[in-house]
Structure 1
Amino acid sequence: MNSTQRIYFNWYDHVFFAFMLLLSTAIGIYFSFTSRQNKNITNEYFMGNKKMFVFPIAMSLVASHVSSVTLMSVPADVYQFGAMYGLSIISIFFVCFATSYVYLPVFYGLQLNSTYEYLKLRFNASIRSYCSLLFIFNSILYMSIVVYVPALAYSQATGISIYYVIPFICAICTLYTTIGGIKAVVWTDTLQFIITAGAIAVVFILGLNKAGGIGNVLEVAKRGDRLSFDFDLDLTTRETVFAVLMHWFLTYIRLTATSPECILKFLALPTLKKAQQSIFLFCFGIILIKLIVVLTGLILFTIYYGCDPVKAGLVEKNDQLVPFYVADMAAGIPGLTGLFISGVFCTGLSTLSASLNALSATVYQDFISKYYPELDKNGRTGFIIKFLVVAMGAVIAVLALMVEHLGPILPLAISVSSITAGSFLGLFTLGMLCPRANSKGALWGIFSSTLIVGWMFIGSQWYKAQGLLKSDPKYLSVDNCTLDISLTNITTTMSIPQESNTIFYLYKISHYYYSLIGTTVCIAVGLIVSYATKSKKEVRRELISPVVHYLFDNKKKMKNFVTSTLHKEDGNYRSIYKANQILEDNSVEMTEFRTKTIT
């Protein structure tokens, strides 16, 4: 290892990489031809005619959630700040049950192409349109980050500027997504996940061997304060146990239970039971990947303990640590570089393809077909959907070129996704678990939530850009470096004095709390406004989660008691009126109801 070492491609790496891209494109072409016989283009394109299988759906879900940010930025974050990120594994375990039994049964029963169509049925069309716009805006921003990371890795490997790589990534992904639909997305995701898993496994095993085994890795990590857990309740602390657990629980609930990317894949399965099976298989896969990337971060710390590559001037920024580490592992192993870069590239492609499919479905179902329903009859649906995929891919490519100026990737990705994550989760939770919630409460809830979290994000990014707000990593040094590095290459991290007293408190709150704040504000405001503006609109039972169906069952029993018992016994219409007033409160138990009414 020396100061000029970097990851690079040989001819066999180029061959392997090209083969992966050609195979992904071939899958899209194949499903393009097989789907032409189906007359229902929207059902075929978005839900695969409901003939998909559990395993590829689960692998597709894992692939679309294991983004390039996970593979490249998480190990670098663990290297700098410690293994607190690993607590997300605990959160995901509970996410499986909540998704399977609280949210998914509602969507599967309704069989909607767009999750935001639910909001129209539960509340009104205005909330549906508002949320669809927020989803489109947020997804495009987040996807630009997801695309940038593999472009950076490929640029390091080949020397080709990211200004050429980013359009190339978007063009390939847009091509097979456009021509193949959900089937192409799922099967290419499955292929790409196999490549990604292979890359992660090989690099992990080689790194673990070089680091002296898992025992030594944990020992060095403990010595370097990478295994400590902070239980502080201060909201401005970057990472605490409570913040990490709540953030990843809420984030993954929002992703698996309400996002169009996941719901479309669940609906492609023939039965609800199979959809639930795919969730648990997905959770097992995502937990395994999370565990490996966290351990990879600790392996990085063990290998470079006392000789930080960033301070030593071997890499420019922390987001380049993983490619630098792979270059170290790949020495003398032909093809490993190509395998790793292909794996990183695959994570970006799989996440982007799922998002492009969901974005096109949302735009078409929530806006175009809403105002131009005749398009479904004149055969233009397929052309418009494919045009939307191309347009979204182009916009994401343009925005991805600007990401390199926005700072460290992982905090940025978490912050961007959290702008609307909490708001959406809060809104769908209001709709499915709170029968008393109405459209006015929902509108004020999501508006307040996005306004507050968006304001916090913009203010935080502004002060970070000024250098007045930053998170210093745990201790890193170059004291044990044995490299032949001149002192001019060694950089030191000088902490810029933070004017903490002049920065508004909300801007200093950790990005891990954004989802919690967004969800809490949305639900709290939504319930307050709903109770203040009671609605006479009766909520359909199928729009409410099965876990609260007992409210409807009790209400039905109470109504039967009013009409059959009181009216027959004494004809006291005044008593019946009072009974109906009691019925307005769904929390009244049957025994309490009988006592009050008869008395």
Structure 2
Amino acid sequence: MDLIDSLIFVFIMLAISVMGIYFSRRKQTRSSQDALIGSNVSVLSIALSVCSSFLSAVSLLGFPAEVYFRGSTPLWFNVVYIIAFPIVAYVFLPVFYHLRLSSIYEYLERRFSYASRILASSTFILQTIFYLAVALYAPSLALAQALNFPIFLSILITSSISAVYLLLGGARGGIYTSALQMALILISLFTICCAILFEFEPMEIYTRSKKALRLETTDTRFNPQVRHSIFAFLIGGSGNIFSLFAVNHLTLQRYMVMPTLRQAQKVVLLNIPMNALMAVMYTFMGLAMYAVYYDCHPKVGAPDQMLPFFVENHLNWLVGLEGVFVAAVYSAGISTLTASYNALTAVVLEDIVKTMWPKVKKEGQIINSEMHIRIIQILPFVFAAVATILAMAVKSLDTMVLQIAFSIFGAAGGAILAVFVIGLFCPKITNPYAALVAQVCTLLVSIWVAAGSLVYNVVPVNLPLSDHCRNSSSPLEFEWEERFGTVMANNDSGIWLEVSKISYQYYCVVAVVVCVVVGHIAQFTFYLVSDSAPVELNRNLLAFAPRVKPPNIIIEAPESQCLSKHCSINEEE
């Protein structure tokens, strides 16, 4: 970047930081609740914050590259959003919202056992920590390249900034900052799309993309090894949305800031247009990149460097755009890190410290407010240190660590979703040991499937690219082949190889099927061999059961059990 772009980048990041922390500290009391989950935040701010939570720099750079190399089938995510987010809002969320959980994994203790809660929360902690390495490395690399910093210093600065946001502004500061960062991301992507329309002919983009199969979006092969078929998105993609936005503590703590269930549901539903808009802009940028490089694929270091390369070399006529774009990439990483640090802090505090450290119990209180706040302030820096070490491992080992992180993220998310599914939708499964057996089996199967993709080096098959960069006059002809849309692996045979080729979109579906089947078998088995009386099931723990709540009674929940300042039961729905 030149001097102007560098100054723009620094100014934007400083402005967002100052504004986020300033707004977070207005009329805010420094209670342990505010430090951990925030309060008094608008619906739009929370919706922007939720949307940015999983919008890492990896996805910001990777989605357009996915379209460039493998076509625009990810547009089917927009259909998935319309189907999945209402289910999150009206099926999953009401159960968790009315239970007033201190941690989403507390639900599993109420429904099954303490062991199920600890296993799920431990899985979430490991899943998030490994993903932090990737989420930290990508924006750090952008910062290092933009300002000519050493990569180690960039990683240290990025990780520390995210933790400082939480220290100075608490969770509310993290929410406001991530909301502003999400707004910056939307503005920068919209500006890039407008610059593309101004610079290039839209019909030329369409024609070249059409001829090169980039607009083929109707892959109807019902084959789980087809990476991005319609069925992979509609079936598997919905499961991925549920694992991220329905049963993940990172998003639940955002929803629970809202004073009423209706407002929390609005937060979920607002993610439909925001995510859909992002998908459309990503796709358009990917198609535009291909239209520019249709006859000469550039040599870039990695696929996710395609978009920065394109902006730097073809949109540099718009002064300041590169600085804004780098700020957006950096913001995407920072928002993910901030949300992850906060969620990890909450889960460790509620599921581990408060339940496994008996010395903190005093006069009926799990932990006093001063120590509560102290732990909340320290833990983000602990996770920042761990993330820094892992990010340096990503730098050293590169692709393999990235693949391991994403595989663990997908496998762990599916296993967590599966145990919540049997809790919410399978009333016949009441034996805690049956649920634990199903949970363990599901986690092992999920890891087995994900590990196979690493062992066999499973990679997607790209659509054809042209290397006619030396004034070649031969025509560009592309024909559809059955191998497009699938994956390839090292030459071998066996069931593990075939299983390892399953599309990552189906990881959650596989986990849910295994958990439901094993759970019912284990329940029936324990019923036959056990003489104990059947466990009485609390109907409030089921998704479609009518909720029992006394009319016109206000229950004042203790602060440690309340995720929102508005804890009355007879609220407006």
What TM-score do the two structures reach when normalised by structure 2?
Answer: 0.85
Q: Check whether the contact 1:48–1:182 (CA below 8 A) recurs between aligned residues.
A: yes
Cα distance in 2 between the residues matched to 1:472 and 1:406:
21
Among 353, 360, 364, which residue is 2:345 paired with?
360
Cα deviations by residue, 1:482-538 (Å, 9 ceiling, x for unpaired):
69xxxxxxxxxxx99941436632223232222221122122212222233346221
Deviations 1:278-310 (A, max 9, x none): 111122111111111122111111111011113
Structure 1 residues 382 and 156, CA gap change in structure 2 (3 angstroms): same
Cα distance in 2 between the residues matched to 1:177 and 1:86: 35
Alignment match of 1:513 (pick from 506, 521, 536):
506
Find the partner of 2:388 among 397, 410, 417.
Answer: 397
CA distance in 1, matches of 2:214, 2:406: 21
CA displacement 1:44-65 (0-9 Å, x = unmatched): 223324x221111111111223
Conserved 8 A contact 1:210-1:303? no
C-alpha distance in 1 between matches for 2:125 and 2:404 = 18
Give runs of aligned pairs for residues 190-589 of structure 1, distance below 5 A.
Answer: 190-213=179-202, 215-228=203-216, 229-310=218-299, 315-370=300-355, 371=357, 372-374=360-362, 376-377=367-368, 379-404=370-395, 405-407=397-399, 414-438=406-430, 439-464=432-457, 469-480=458-469, 498-501=490-493, 504-534=497-527, 536-545=534-543, 547-549=544-546
Which residue of structure 1 lines up, in the alignment, with residue 38 of structure 2? 48
Structure 2 residue runs of 5 or longer lacking an equivalent are: 473-486, 528-532, 550-573
C-alpha distance in 2 between matches for 1:35 and 1:367 = 31
Distance 1:471 1:127 in 2: 35
Percentage identity across aligned positions? Answer: 28
8 A contact 1:25–1:175 mirrored in 2: no
**SS of equivalent residue, structure 2 residue 168:** helix
Q: Is residue 2:157 matched to residue 1:172?
A: no
Unaligned runs of 5+ in 1: 1-8, 484-494, 554-599
Q: Larger helix proportion, structure 1 or 2?
A: 1
Per-residue displacement from partner, 1:404-436 (whole Å, max 9, x unpaired)?
Answer: 534399976653321111111111111112222
Q: Secondary structure at the match of 2:509?
A: helix
**Which residues in structure 2 correspond to 1:94-173 (within 5 Å)?**
94-173=83-162
Q: Kindly tell me: are residues 462 and 178 of structure 1, through their superposed partners in 2, closer, same or farther at Cα, counting changes over 3 Å?
A: farther
Q: What is the root-mean-square deviation of aligned Cα atoms in Å?
A: 2.6
In structure 2, what is the Cα distance between the partners aligned to 1:316 and 1:67? 20
Structure showing greater Rg: 1
C-alpha distance 35-482 of structure 1, shift in aligned 2 (>3 A):
farther
Aligned to 2:235, the other structure's residue is in SS state helix
Q: How does 1:31-70 map to 2 (within 5 A)?
A: 37-38=29-30, 40-41=31-32, 43-49=33-39, 51-70=40-59
Is contact 1:88-1:244 (8 Å) kept? yes
Alignment size in residue pairs: 520
Matching residue of 1:18: 10
Change (3 A) 1:378 1:216: closer
Q: What SS class does the counterpart of residue 454 from structure 1 fall into?
A: helix
> Does structure 1 retain, via aligned residues, the 8 Å contact 2:69–2:463?
yes
CA contact (8 A) 2:21 2:176 kept: no
Contact 1:28 1:179 (C-alpha < 8 Å) held by counterparts: no
Structure 2 counterpart SS, 1:449: helix
Residue pair 2:24, 2:172 contacting (<8 A) in 1 also: no
Can you list the C-alpha shifts for 1:303-322, whole angstroms capped at 9, x where unaligned?
Answer: 11011113xxxx12212111
* Correspondence for 2:556: none
Distance 1:197 1:327 in 2: 19
Instruction: Report the AA paired with residue 512 of structure 2.
Output: T
What's the offset of the Cα at 1:376?
2.2
Which amino acid in 1 is paired with 2:507? Y
**Structure 2: how far apart are the matches of 1:509 and 1:406?**
24
Report the Cα distance in structure 1 between the residues aligned to 2:107 and 2:17, rounded to whole angstroms.
33
